[in-house]
C-alpha cells in the first residue's frame, strides 16, 4: 500500500538568499552548495581520451564556464561529426517538497540542457536513476517512489520521450537519516558536432535574452510551451543567431549570468526584477545572440568586464572567489608553484630529417598493459600519412613476455618511427609511472634494436606515459638507455597531488628536431593534458644545459603540474627523440 502525501502550500521555485545588498546576495548564491565550483573534483577524471570530446567540462579561453552537457563524437576509425549529447536533471530541494514535481522537472531540466547545446530534444531517450530511503510498512514512505515514478511517467507521455533503462535502490537510510526521494533523469540523443554551441559568452556587445518557461497553476511544467521554446531555440542556433545558451537551474538567472561570463572573462549589463533573479527557473533559458531576437525577453548585453545588474556593479573577480571558495579546501583547482628565472636559450636552426624521404613511414606502436591512447595516436599518424603497425605486448606468462620481446624487436627493425603512447602502464605500479615500459626498453635485446633504429636515422616519440618511460629509461634526455643516475631528470606527482585533466598552453622553445620542423620558435599551442605524474624534476645545472643545447622542446605558459622551469617536452641531443606530457594526438 502506498500513499502520496499532499505538498506544502508554497511556491517551490521561489528562492531568496539571505537578506543583504544585491552584491551580498550574488556572492552568497555563487558560494551556495549547489552552485559553487566543483572544478577541482571534475579535473580528477579524464575528459579527453578517445579524441571524442566536443565540449570540455569547462569552456572559454579561461576554462571557467561550466558545460551543462557531455558531447562526445562516436568512436570510429575514420572521421565523423556524429556525436552523442547527454545531460541530467535533479534538484534535491524540489524532491523534498514533492517527489512527483521533482521527477517531472528532472526530465525537463535534462531536455532543456540538451536543447541549449543545439541538439534535437525530440529524439532523446532516458535512463532514470532512483535512490530512496529504506522501505518499511509506512504507506507514505512507499508513496515517495510511487510519486516520483508517476511524475516521470507523466513527462514521458507529454513529451513523447521514453525511458529505456534505469536503476533503483531502496537503501538510502542510516539510522534516522534518509536521502531525499531521488529520481535523476539522464537524457541522451545524437547531434551533428558542427551544430553544437557552448555556455560561455562569446563577445562584448552581443545581446542577452531570457526565453521564459512559466509553470502551470499547480507548478507542473507547461509542456506545450517548453516544446515550442526548444524548437524555436534549435532554429535560432542552426541559423547562427544564438551563440551560447544556459539552462536555468538552482541559482536562476543570477547563476547563469556569472557562469556564462567567467569563461572568457567578460561582463554583463542587464535589467531584471531582483525578486526573480534567484528563482530556480527550470525550463527557462538564458541566451546570447549576435543580434535582435523575436520571441524572447531582452535583458541587456554582454560587456567587457564585471557584472552590472539594475545599475549595481559587482566585480567578476569577487564573484569568482566566492564561487571557488566553498570547496577550495577539499578539491583545490590549483596550487601555487615555484617561479623560475629562465636560463638563456641558444638559437637553433631547424633540424631536417637526415634520412631518405619515405612516402609512408612505418610506425611501430607497442601497446602495453594499461596503454589507452593507442587508437588516438594511430589515428593521428595515419592522418599524417604514416603506416601504423600496433601490437599488444602480452605479459600473462613468462613465455608471453619473451614472445612479445621477440616481436617488438622484429617490428622495431622494420620501422622508421617508434611511438610510445599514453596511458597508465601496469596501473603506474610499482610506485611510479612508466616503469614497466622502461624496463622493457632497457631489455638488452630491445635496447639493441632501438640503437639500430637510431643509427639508421629513425625517430622515437613518447607522449605522457610514453614520455615517462623515455625519461626513466635514459633515452631522454641522454639519447641512450642505461644512463640514468640518481641526479637524472624524472617525472613526479603533480604539485596539486592529484590527477589533472584540462587544456593548457605550451610554447615552442626549440626547433632542433625533425619532429618540430613545421614549427617556429614562440608558437603557442593549446594542448590536452591528463596525468597524475607530469611534473618534470630537474636540477638547476642540468636545466641550464638542456636549454643551452636546445633540448627543451616546449614550455608551459600556465604550468598545471609544477614542472621545474615550466618544461613540458624534451629532445634527445640529436633531436630524433621527442617526449612530452601533452596529448598532441
* CA 506/CA 438 separation, integer angstroms: 26
Strand boundaries in 152-257, DSSP class E: 163-169, 173-174, 177-178, 182-192, 207-211, 242-247
491 DSSP β-pair partners: 536
* CA 88/CA 33 separation, integer angstroms: 18
* CA 337/CA 329 separation, integer angstroms: 17
In Å, what is the CA distance from 532 to each residue of 73, 367, 499?
25, 20, 4
* Residue matched to cell numbers 531555440: 233
3-state secondary structure of 324: helix
* CA 201/CA 66 separation, integer angstroms: 12
What grid cell was written down for 183? 529520481
Residue 372: name the closest of 298, 271, 303, 463 by CA: 463
Q: What residues have CB less than 8 Å from 136, skipping those under 6 apart?
A: none
Query: What are the backbone dihedrals phi and psi of residue 577, each rounded to the nearest 5 degrees, phi first?
Result: -115, 125
Are 377 and 365 a contacting pair, CB within 8 Å? Answer: yes
Q: Examine the residue annotation and report whether 464 is marked as an active-site residue of this protein.
A: yes
Q: Examine the residue annotation and report whether 585 is marked as an active-site residue of this protein.
A: yes
Candidates 421, 464, 531, 533; catalytic one: 464
Are 219 and 13 a contacting pair, CB within 8 Å? Answer: yes
Q: Using alpha carbons only, give the angle 249, 67, 150 rounded to the nearest 5 degrees.
A: 45
* CA 317/CA 26 separation, integer angstroms: 13
Q: Count the neighbouring beta carbons within 10 Å of the beta carbon of residue 354.
A: 10
What grid cell was written down for 470? 623515455
DSSP code, position 483: -
DSSP-assigned states of every residue in 356-401: ---SS-EEEEEE-TTB--HHHHHHHHHHTT-EEEEEE---SSHHHH
Are 40 and 55 a contacting pair, CB within 8 Å? Answer: no
Candidates 133, 255, 509, 585; catalytic one: 585
Residues classed as catalytic: 464, 583, 585
Amino acid at each position: 500500500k502506498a500513499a502520496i502525501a499532499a505538498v506544502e502550500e508554497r511556491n517551490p521555485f521561489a528562492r531568496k538568499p539571505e537578506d543583504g545588498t544585491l552584491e551580498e546576495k550574488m556572492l552568497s548564491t555563487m558560494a551556495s552548495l549547489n552552485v559553487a565550483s566543483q572544478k577541482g573534483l571534475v579535473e580528477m577524471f579524464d575528459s579527453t581520451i578517445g579524441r571524442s570530446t566536443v565540449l570540455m567540462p569547462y569552456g572559454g579561453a579561461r576554462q571557467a564556464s561550466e558545460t551543462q552537457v557531455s558531447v562526445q563524437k562516436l568512436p570510429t576509425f575514420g572521421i565523423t561529426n556524429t556525436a552523442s549529447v547527454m545531460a541530467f536533471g535533479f534538484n534535491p530541494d524540489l524532491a523534498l517538497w514533492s517527489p512527483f514535481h521533482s521527477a517531472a522537472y528532472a526530465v525537463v531540466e535534462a531536455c532543456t540542457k540538451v536543447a541549449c547545446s543545439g541538439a534535437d530534444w525530440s529524439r532523446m531517450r532516458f535512463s532514470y536513476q532512483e535512490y530512496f530511503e529504506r522501505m518499511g510498512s509506512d504507506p507514505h514512505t512507499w508513496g515517495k517512489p510511487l510519486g516520483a515514478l508517476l511524475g516521470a511517467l507523466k513527462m514521458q507521455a507529454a513529451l513523447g520521450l521514453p525511458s529505456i533503462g534505469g536503476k533503483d535502490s531502496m537503501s538510502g537510510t542510516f539510522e534516522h537519516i534518509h536521502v531525499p526521494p531521488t529520481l535523476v533523469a539522464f537524457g541522451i540523443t545524437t547531434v551533428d558536432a558542427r551544430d553544437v554551441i557552448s555556455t560561455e559568452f562569446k563577445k562584448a556587445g552581443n545581446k542577452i535574452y531570457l526565453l521564459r518557461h512559466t509553470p502551470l497553476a499547480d507548478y507542473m511544467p507547461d509542456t506545450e510551451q517548453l516544446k515550442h521554446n526548444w524548437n524555436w531555440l534549435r532554429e535560432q542556433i542552426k541559423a547562427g543567431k544564438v551563440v551560447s545558451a544556459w539552462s536555468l537551474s538552482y541559482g536562476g538567472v543570477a547563476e547563469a549570468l556569472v557562469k556564462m561570463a567567467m569563461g572568457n572573462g567578460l561582463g554583463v549589463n542587464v535589467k531584471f526584477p531582483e525578486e526573480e533573479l534567484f528563482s530556480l527557473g527550470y525550463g527557462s533559458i538564458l541566451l546570447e545572440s549576435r543580434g535582435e531576437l523575436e520571441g524572447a525577453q531582452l535583458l541587456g548585453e554582454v560587456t567587457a568586464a564585471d557584472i552590472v545588474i539594475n545599475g549595481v556593479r559587482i566585480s567578476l573577480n569577487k564573484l569568482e572567489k566566492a564561487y571557488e571558495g566553498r570547496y577550495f579546501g577539499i578539491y583545490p583547482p590549483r596550487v601555487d608553484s615555484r617561479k623560475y628565472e629562465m636560463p638563456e636559450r641558444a638559437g637553433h636552426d631547424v633540424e631536417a630529417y637526415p634520412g631518405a624521404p619515405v612516402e609512408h613511414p612505418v610506425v611501430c606502436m607497442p601497446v602495453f598493459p594499461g596503454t589507452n591512447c593507442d587508437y588516438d595516436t594511430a589515428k593521428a599518424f595515419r592522418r599524417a600519412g604514416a603506416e601504423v603497425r600496433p601490437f599488444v605486448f602480452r605479459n600473462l606468462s613468462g613465455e608471453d613476455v619473451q614472445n612479445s620481446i621477440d616481436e617488438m624487436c622484429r617490428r622495431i627493425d622494420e620501422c622508421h618511427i617508434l611511438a610510445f603512447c599514453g596511458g597508465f602502464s601496469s596501473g603506474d605500479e610499482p610506485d611510479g609511472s612508466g616503469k614497466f615500459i622502461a624496463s622493457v626498453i632497457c631489455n638488452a635485446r630491445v635496447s639493441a634494436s632501438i640503437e639500430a633504429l637510431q643509427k639508421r636515422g629513425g625517430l622515437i616519440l613518447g607522449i605522457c606515459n610514453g614520455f615517462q618511460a623515455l625519461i626513466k629509461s635514459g633515452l631522454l634526455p641522454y639519447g641512450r638507455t642505461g644512463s640514468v643516475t640518481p641526479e637524472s631528470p624524472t617525472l613526479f606527482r603533480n604539485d596539486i597531488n592529484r590527477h589533472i585533466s584540462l587544456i593548457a598552453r605550451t610554447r615552442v622553445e626549440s626547433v632542433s628536431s625533425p619532429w618540430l620542423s613545421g614549427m617556429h620558435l614562440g608558437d603557442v599551442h593549446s594542448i590536452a593534458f591528463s596525468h597524475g605524474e607530469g611534473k618534470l624534476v630537474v636540477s638547476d645545472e642540468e636545466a641550464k644545459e638542456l636549454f643551452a643545447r636546445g633540448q627543451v622542446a616546449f614550455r608551459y605558459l600556465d604550468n598545471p603540474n609544477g614542472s621545474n622551469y615550466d618544461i613540458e617536452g624534451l629532445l634527445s641531443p640529436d633531436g630524433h627523440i621527442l617526449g612530452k606530457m601533452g596529448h598532441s594526438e
